[in-house]
């Protein structure tokens, strides 16, 4: 028993050390929630286009046509980080030749139209989700959020928050590359 | 006065954020909705149930819970509906499955370890005096010799 007790301080130190190593890891975000939708097909939803902007709405049928990964961005004109993210997404669409669709979350059509007129519209399609119901189907907790849907219509990646940092952009690019590689 | 104050403190519960326009006309359904809402975590404020959260998503989810109940869902179906969109994370009462074994078993393991330590400590304090070894025959002789010499007044 006494011989065993000699190792007790060491064991305690190891436990505290491991807890600190896990808890103080800068890559660990205690607020992140695992998404239930990763690996699942795109949920059932059908959204009309934003009134006034024209263009096409967004629904489940727009995914899984086998043409390549699609980036789904949930945004709103009242969301300040979305404004910063908008420039990044616009550049990505231009440089990476990317399919980008939008879900306009809990926004007034006039406000969304004004926002897109001011900043430009990089989206191929935008679904207007005025009630936030489609947002619930996608399991979002706020805006902005971004999903990667692969060519088969399976959600493979989710990013909560604006894609403005280099690290965020790198993880998104990696997810897109992986989703594209799965197709071939 | 102080007693009343203490009683009032313990009676206090968090105020529900349910707004009048959300409340169902059927009291039985509303009761079930409140019950379910209290067990669903708000995904924005995270440590608050949707029943007391003022966030927009929480309101949407409260309305959705009521919508499902009116449509005739059982409580179980409503929970399943939420879990399929937001994961087990939305449940304040997580299910018993391989990823949550540690969560459910940890308190019992810690209680067992603690109990084990307590038992060991008590056992040792009882064992104490009896555990001291008695002198051997040779040591008894030396001891008798020393005491004899001391009483004789001779020094070593």
ipTM confidence: 0.74
The count of structural domains within chain B is 2
Q: Within this chain, do residues B23 and B90 fall inside the same structural domain, yes or no?
A: yes
Cβ distance A142 to B44 less than 8 Å, yes or no, reads yes
**Rounded CA gap, A42 and A62, in Å?**
10
Task: Check CB contact of A135 with chain B, cutoff 8 Å.
Answer: yes
Q: Within this chain, do residues B86 and B123 fall inside the same structural domain, yes or no?
A: no
Q: Within this chain, do residues B89 and B108 fall inside the same structural domain, yes or no?
A: no
**What CATH code is carried by the domain that includes residue B66?**
1.10.8.640
**What is the pLDDT tens value at each position of chain B, 156 positions in all?**
778 777 777 776 666 778 888 888 889 999 999 999 999 998 888 788 998 888 888 888 999 999 999 999 999 999 999 998 888 888 988 888 888 898 899 999 999 999 999 998 888 776 555 556 677 888 888 988 888 887 776 555
A-chain residue closest to B64, CA distance: A133
Cβ distance A36 to B46 less than 8 Å, yes or no, reads no
B-chain residue closest to A44, CA distance: B85
Question: Crossing angle for the helix pair A109-119 and A80-96, nearest 10 degrees?
Answer: 50
A52-72 residue pLDDT tens: 887 889 999 999 888 889 999
Residues 6+ apart with CB under 8 A from B149: B155, B156
Give contacts of A78 with chain B, Cβ < 8 Å.
Answer: none
> Does CATH number 2.40.50.140 belong to domain A37-183?
no
Q: Within this chain, do residues B87 and B111 fall inside the same structural domain, yes or no?
A: no
Q: Within this chain, do residues B84 and B32 fall inside the same structural domain, yes or no?
A: yes
Q: Within this chain, do residues B9 and B45 fall inside the same structural domain, yes or no?
A: yes
Task: Check CB contact of B63 with chain A, cutoff 8 Å.
Answer: no
Domain-terminating residue out of B79, B95, B111: B95
Q: A115 to chain B nearest CA, in Å?
A: 22
* Structural domain that includes position B73: 2-95
- SS3 helix, strand, coil % of chain A, rounded to 5? 40, 20, 40
Q: Within this chain, do residues B22 and B91 fall inside the same structural domain, yes or no?
A: yes
Q: Within this chain, do residues B83 and B9 fall inside the same structural domain, yes or no?
A: yes
Q: Within this chain, do residues B88 and B139 fall inside the same structural domain, yes or no?
A: no
């Amino acid at each position: 028993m006494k011989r065993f007790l000699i190792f007790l301080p060491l064991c305690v130190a190891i436990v505290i050390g491991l807890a600190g190593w896990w808890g103080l890891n800068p890559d660990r975000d205690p607020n992140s929630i695992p998404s239930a939708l990763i690996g699942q097909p795109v949920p059932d939803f059908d959204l009309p286009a934003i009134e006034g902007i024209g263009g096409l709405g967004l629904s489940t049928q727009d995914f899984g046509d086998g043409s390549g990964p699609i980036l789904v961005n949930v945004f709103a004109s009242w969301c300040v980080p979305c404004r910063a993210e908008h420039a990044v997404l616009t550049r990505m669409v231009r440089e990476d030749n990317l399919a980008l669709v939008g879900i306009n979350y809990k926004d007034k059509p006039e406000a969304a139209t004004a926002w897109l007129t001011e900043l430009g519209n990089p989206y191929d399609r935008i679904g207007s989700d005025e009630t936030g119901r489609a947002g619930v189907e996608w399991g979002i907790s706020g805006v902005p959020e971004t999903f990667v849907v692969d060519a088969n219509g399976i959600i493979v990646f989710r990013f909560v928050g604006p894609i403005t940092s280099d690290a965020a952009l790198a993880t998104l690019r990696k997810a897109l590359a992986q989703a594209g590689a799965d197709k071939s | 006065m102080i007693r009343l104050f203490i009683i009032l403190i313990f009676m206090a519960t968090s105020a529900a954020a349910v707004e009048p326009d959300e409340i169902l006309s059927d009291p039985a359904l509303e009761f079930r909705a409140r019950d379910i809402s209290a067990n669903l975590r708000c995904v924005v404020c995270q440590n608050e149930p949707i029943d007391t959260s003022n966030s927009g998503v929480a309101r949407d989810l409260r309305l959705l819970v009521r919508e499902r109940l009116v449509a005739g869902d059982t409580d179980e179906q409503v929970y399943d509906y939420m879990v399929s969109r937001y994961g087990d994370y939305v449940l304040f009462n997580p299910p018993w499955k391989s990823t949550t074994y540690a969560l459910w078993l940890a308190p019992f393991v810690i209680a067992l370890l603690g109990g084990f330590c307590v038992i060991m400590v008590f056992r040792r304090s009882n064992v104490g005096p009896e555990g001291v070894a008695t002198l051997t025959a040779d040591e008894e002789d030396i001891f008798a010799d020393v005491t004899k010499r001391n009483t004789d007044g001779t020094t070593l």
